[in-house]
Amino acid sequence: MSNELESLRERIEVINDEILALLQERGSLAKKIGEEKRKQGTQVYDPQREKEMLNHLIDNNKGPYNDNTIKQLFKEIFKASTDLQKSENEKHLYVSRKLKPEDTIVQFDNGAIIGNNKKTFVFGPCSVESQEQVDTVAKDLADRGEKFIRGGAFKPRTSPYDFQGLGEEGLKILKNSKDKYGLNVVSEIVNPAHFEMADEYLDVFQIGARNMQNFELLKEAGKTNKPILLKRGLSATIEEFIYAAEYIHSKGNNNIILCERGIRTYETATRNTLDISAVPILKQGTHLPVMVDVTHSTGRKDIMLPCAKAALAVGADGVMAEVHPDPSVALSDAGQQMDLNEFDSFHKEIVQAAKLYEK
């Protein structure tokens, strides 16, 4: 190396150390400012102050870095200062495992649990169609020792001409069945004004994929004290999914169950693409239980079982799937619901598989 290059680099290293020492001093001052702000009850982030400082710096900028570069560099420094000023609690989301390392366990009156290294199943018809239909499935589930049933009464369908669900009448049917068979009832709510009405019928309010970013619905769900089963949006990133859960938690409801249900990709072999990697990512990043809906993710009965096993193997707390006494006449999703025979073999196998993973 030439002597000239070497000596220039040595000077740069000295400057690095000087910048570091100045950043340390600046950081300590920012922390003190943060403490003052806390005493005064003012916000950590002060955009007006940052703007004034940036204007001053740009006025004094003589190059060689252009104004925009100087702006970006100092914005990073300001951001680092505001992060320093925030308490640990303010740095992390409520749903984050960093804030709460232990798993959230959702508990029910009939002894059922979602989370806590138990594998829990939620089965039932896509739509509530009649008392007889729900009772047939509920009896089958109760006989198997299952603790939950699902069924849609408010159906957000792609086409407005498709069956839209029985509404409150459907919730009453579910509640009747719950009273007969002692199962917890999971059903979707699509209207923020309906939580109150649905409270007497349901044990879990589901927020469906199409409503994952319906923020008014999420906020209302957060004000209830029932568990919320939140499904991942069709095209939602994992980060967006986590923020949707944060909307619920931030309003005071921490009983949230996340559900991966497949995302839209270019692949046409399945109805959606089951994002199996989302399960361990959500388990790592949040303290919430995570379930996998193998019906909506695959849309294919022939691969539901291996996908359900995969879900349990990667750490899912449970699996959801659709079961209908007579799928051929179902008013929604006729092609992908299991009949009771198909369900019998699916259930036997998945219960066996669950034993491998329950601690």
Ligand X SMILES: C=C(O[C@@H]1C=C(C(=O)O)C=C[C@H]1O)C(=O)O
List residues near ligand X by CB under 6 A.
30, 33, 45-46, 49-50, 78, 81-82, 85
Q: List beta partners, residue 291.
A: 259, 318
Closer residue to ligand X, CB minimum distance, 46 or 135: 46
In angstroms, give the least distance from the CB of 25 to ligand X.
12
Closer residue to ligand X, CB minimum distance, 82 or 191: 82
Residue facing ligand X at closest CB distance: 81
In angstroms, give the least distance from the CB of 28 to ligand X.
11
In angstroms, give the least distance from the CB of 313 to ligand X.
46
In angstroms, give the least distance from the CB of 80 to ligand X.
7
Closer residue to ligand X, CB minimum distance, 27 or 156: 27
How many alpha carbons lie under 13 Å from residue 89 in its C-beta half-sphere?
1
In angstroms, give the least distance from the CB of 37 to ligand X.
7
| DSSP label of 94 | T
The tokens describing 37, both together, are 């702000």
In angstroms, give the least distance from the CB of 60 to ligand X.
16
Closer residue to ligand X, CB minimum distance, 61 or 176: 61
* Under 8 Å between Cβ of 282 and 241: yes
Closer residue to ligand X, CB minimum distance, 82 or 131: 82
Closer residue to ligand X, CB minimum distance, 57 or 340: 57
Closer residue to ligand X, CB minimum distance, 79 or 223: 79
**Tokens 């995302």, located at residue:** 263
In angstroms, give the least distance from the CB of 43 to ligand X.
8
**Tokens 């169950």, located at residue:** 257
In angstroms, give the least distance from the CB of 45 to ligand X.
5
In angstroms, give the least distance from the CB of 53 to ligand X.
6
DSSP E strand boundaries for 240-323: 256-260, 290-293, 318-322
Cis peptide before 101 (omega within 30 of 0): no
The Cα–Cα gap between 343 and 356 comes to 20
Closer residue to ligand X, CB minimum distance, 50 or 344: 50
* Under 8 Å between Cβ of 221 and 207: yes
Closer residue to ligand X, CB minimum distance, 49 or 264: 49
CA dihedral of residues 293, 298, 302, 305 (deg, nearest 10): -30
Q: Reduced to 3 states, what is the DSSP secondary structure of residue 159?
A: coil
Largest CA distance in the chain: 90
In angstroms, give the least distance from the CB of 94 to ligand X.
23
Cα–Cα distances in angstroms (integers) from residue 171 to residues 140, 149, 188, 204, 337, in the given order:
19, 12, 10, 12, 20
- Could you count the other beta carbons within 10 Å of the beta carbon of residue 81? 20
Single-letter amino acid code for the residue at 228: I
Single-letter amino acid code for the residue at 335: G
* Residue of 307, 320, 321 whose CA lies nearest to 353: 307
Angle subtended by helix axes 278-285 and 238-250, to nearest 10: 40
Closer residue to ligand X, CB minimum distance, 30 or 128: 30
